[in-house]
Amino acid sequence: MTPASTSLTNDNFARVRARWRSLLTLGPSPRPSDPDVIAGLERQAATARRFWSSLQTSADRAFLWPDLANPSEPGQVAESYNRLRVLALAYATPGSSLQNAPKLKADLLGALDWLSANGYNEQKTKVGNWWYWEIGIPLALNDIVILLNEALSADQISQFMGAIDHFTPVVKYTGANLVWLATIIAIRAAIVESDQKLVAARDGLSPVFRYVTSGDGFYADGSFIQHEAHPYNGGYGAALLANLSSLLYALTGSPWQVKDPNQRNVFRWIYDSFEPLIYKGAMMDLVRGREIARTTNSDHASGHGVIGSILLLSEIAPPADAAAFKSMVKGWIQADQYRDFLKTAPVPMLGLAKAVREDPSVTPPSAPVRHQAYPSMDRIVHRRPSYAFAISMSSQRIFNYESINQENLHGWYTGDGMTYLYNEDLAQYADGFWPTVDPYRLPGTTVAAVKRADGSGANYRSPSTWTGGAVLLDRFGATGMDLRAWNDLVSAKKSWFSFDDEIVALGAGISSSTPDPVETIVENRRLTSTSAPAFQVDGASKPTTLGWSELLARPTWLHLEGTGGYYFPVPTSIHALREARTGVWYDIDHLYGAKTSLSRVYLTLWIDHGINPASASYAYVLLPNQTAEATQKYASKPPIQILENSAKVQAVRQLGLGILAANFWEDTVHQVDVLTSDRAASVLLRETTASNGESVLDLAIADPTQANDGTITIEIARSAGQVLATDPGLAVSQLSPTIRLVVAVKEARGKTFQARLQVAKS
């Protein structure tokens, strides 16, 4: 062990250990007599009893658990330590029915000695997955030593801590991996009372606080990337936040409290990188990577983990941020009617959560009206009070999907423009969606019906850079993706224009050389198990029986009860299918997947572009949460005009909002309506009348390719009287007879530039 610095007292280390122990047991705000805490402790004890009952305790044992019989396999060693951690929690947590149980203590100590001798010690050489040796095992072992400290001998602690120092001696790596290592080294240092190691761990966190412009980490636009080019706010980003919030809490008030001024970015992450991506307690799947395929890791479970981290941060955040965080948490806890946070959260979080829930001064935030673009990870989120709509894309910058360690084996098209609709059906993506949905027909995608092998095409980078869009007034968005699918299966220009009550989806230039049908999937919705939602076609009800299918001949509008409406501005034949689908989690995740068969009912709608389409197109409007009556009314007098839908430009006008939105696909001069662009660009233009009667133009312009090292020139066939506001980098070079704007987009990284002009009086 490294001796403690003479300038420090043992009390400093003891305080860090005590704060960490509180995070493992009853939490910073313990409520041992609270019914929910008692119930949580009993759940914890029940799991411990289950593991304890199958723990091998004989002197000649060759393993600790029959299903973890190979002490040379690091994953099994890590899981053995995880189970011992569960037993240690039950033994050490005040109020647990197994607290201080003598037999449990003896069995725990014996198991730890056996595992140290046979699975993890300083003489072992790393084999297999490095993560288990450097992160998975030491995380659990540190916690066990903190929990059992008084029961362990000095020799045992020295042996266990020596093994951790052997495999995890210094802070390295990036993103979540870096924070895991810093946490391990810091908590080990508190155990062995090493000032040097604690300082190194604290200082090793600094790279994480800084925004990055490439590779792993948090980006200024709110994106989080791990594994080089995978969006992971809700996976590795959530794990990073959980460990970082715990470590910051443990070190607060100690000589090792983090002093890096960039630490303030952690609080900004909550607003930019997490809050927009949580819908009523659920973390959106489009930022959870391969974790979507894990049996027990639903979007609500992931979201609740982030909620717990934000709760903990509210204990150490500046007052204004702490108040905002508590408001968010209260809103999510109240809104999540699918998974009750107070019935499922870890015991240490319950006291904090209950305090927030019971505090009348904490009020949930208003329902969001927000359009959030994440150009650094090719994701879009459109929020309205009654729904959220999200798009998952990919490009030359962002991989299409991740499949490693035999996980997420059917994620083939999740990054090809898959769309998500979140509404009152909070179980949509949580209740067996991923193992039962048709992975070849994910909503929003345009795909060739080619049989795919497990994990095929993972980590594919498209040759195209055009993915992204522009955001107007933080409320409206133009989004596009130049789809160049893996293995040259399909190419297409795909756009989504997001307004208040509708999302206009356009596709053009759809081509494929495969001898298989090419389809655009309008919808693939998991239906509730308690009812058979009605489906209407131009007002006529269709059968709700399973197995029903029909080619709908050129409908104008469709409506699915509980989901919303669909309007088709261009006559299009639509295939419809209502079916029960059966699947097994193991089929999509061989590492963690359960083998229990599941069955779920889906309604699927798709457009068949035929075999070898040369330049096919589509157009439809999504009307989330709209009634059948509202959908029919919309279709009878649509406020949408499609101005152009080609491989050069896709543009629409929303008459009621006064918005013109366009995606220009090429670096050539092209005009649509009153807009002309000389480069590839995404543009929105809105004209409104101010309170003084003056007309005002609001402009939003972006370079979705992020490859333009010069400028974009936009010309508008209108005259302006004066410039009211512009973002840095946007210059108005002419006000009449036309308006001309020049935007310097070099290294703008997909950022939207906005301007406001007063329209010249005619």
Residue 612, token pair as written in the block: 């070898």
306: its two tokens: 């982030």
Q: Please give the share of the chain, as a percent, with pLDDT higher than 90.
A: 96
Contacts of 549 (CB under 8 A, 6+ apart): 575, 576, 577, 578, 579
CATH H superfamily, domain 1-28+193-365: Chondroitin AC/alginate lyase (1.50.10.100)
Statement: residue 353 has pLDDT above 90: yes
- Cβ atoms of 675 and 662 within 8 Å: the answer is yes
Give percent of the chain with pLDDT exceeding 70. 99
Query: Average model confidence (pLDDT) for the chain?
Result: 96
In the prediction, which pLDDT does 229 show?
98
pLDDT at position 404 is 97
How much is the pLDDT for 633?
A: 98
Give the Cα separation of 489 and 456 in Å (integer).
Answer: 13
Quote the DSSP letter at residue 364.
P
Q: What is the pLDDT of residues 439-468, one digit of tens each?
A: 999 999 999 999 999 999 999 999 999 999
Mean pLDDT of 324-353: 97
* Assigned token pair, 465: 């850079």
Contact 237, 224 (CB under 8 A): yes
pLDDT grade for 476, boundaries at 50, 70 and 90: very high
Within 468-602, where are the H helices?
585-588
Q: What is the pLDDT of residues 609-650, one digit of tens each?
A: 999 999 999 999 999 999 999 999 999 999 999 999 999 999
Helix 137-148, helix 10-24: angle, nearest 10: 110
Instruction: Tell the burial category of 67 from Cβ atoms under 10 Å away from its Cβ (0-12, 13-18, 19+).
Output: exposed
**1-28+193-365 and 31-168: identical CATH topology:** yes
Is the CATH number 2.60.40.420 carried by domain 370-641?
no
Mean pLDDT, residues 256-283: 98
Among the listed ranges 283-292, 526-535, 540-549, 697-706, which one has the minimum average pLDDT value?
Answer: 526-535
620 carries an active-site annotation: no
Indicate the SS3 state at residue 743.
strand
Look at residue 90 and tell me whether its pLDDT is greater than 90. yes
Please check whether residue 277 is in contact with residue 233, taking contact to mean a CB–CB distance below 8 angstroms: yes
Alpha carbons 97 and 289: distance in angstroms, whole number: 38
Rounded to two decimals, the pTM is 0.96
- Res. 707 pLDDT band, cuts 50 70 90: very high
Task: pLDDT band for 41, please (50, 70, 90 cuts).
Answer: very high
666-759 is classed in which CATH architecture?
A: Sandwich (2.60)
pLDDT over 60 (residue 1) = no
Q: What is the pLDDT of residues 127-174, one digit of tens each?
A: 999 999 999 999 999 999 999 999 999 999 999 999 999 999 999 999
CB-CB contact of 44 with 345 (8 Å): no
Please report, for residues 174, 287, 402, 586, the alpha-carbon distance to residue 436 in angstroms, rounded to integers and kept in the order given: 35, 20, 19, 11
pLDDT at 531: 79
Q: Which of 91, 120, 219, 236 is catalytic?
A: 236
Nearest to 623 by CA among 686, 684, 682, 536: 536
Mean pLDDT of 274-286: 98
Give, for 370, the enclosing helix (H) or strand (E): strand 370-374
> In the prediction, which pLDDT does 604 show?
98
With residue 200 as reference, give the H or E element that holds it.
helix 195-204
Instruction: Return the structure tokens found at 510.
Output: 């759809």
The residue-averaged pLDDT of 30-38 equals 96
Please determine, for residue 3, whether its predicted confidence score (pLDDT) is greater than 80.
Answer: no
Q: What pLDDT was estimated at residue 762?
A: 65
Q: Where are the domains of the chain?
A: 1-28+193-365, 31-168, 370-641, 666-759
DSSP characters for 62-96?
Answer: S-SBTTB--TTSHHHHHHHHHHHHHHHHHHHSTT-
Please give the average per-residue pLDDT across 531-540, as a whole number. Answer: 95
- Among 9-13, 55-59, 300-304, 667-671, which is the least confidently predicted range? 9-13
The predicted model gives 747-751 an average pLDDT of 98
pLDDT of residue 692: 78
Closest CA to 231 of 55, 38, 394, 441: 394
The pLDDT score that the predictor gives to residue 8 is 57
- 269: which 2 tokens? 């992450």
> Looking at the domain that runs over 31-168, which CATH code has it been given?
1.50.10.100
Using the predicted structure, report yes or no on whether residue 17 has a pLDDT greater than 60: yes
The secondary structure of residue 403, as a DSSP letter, is -
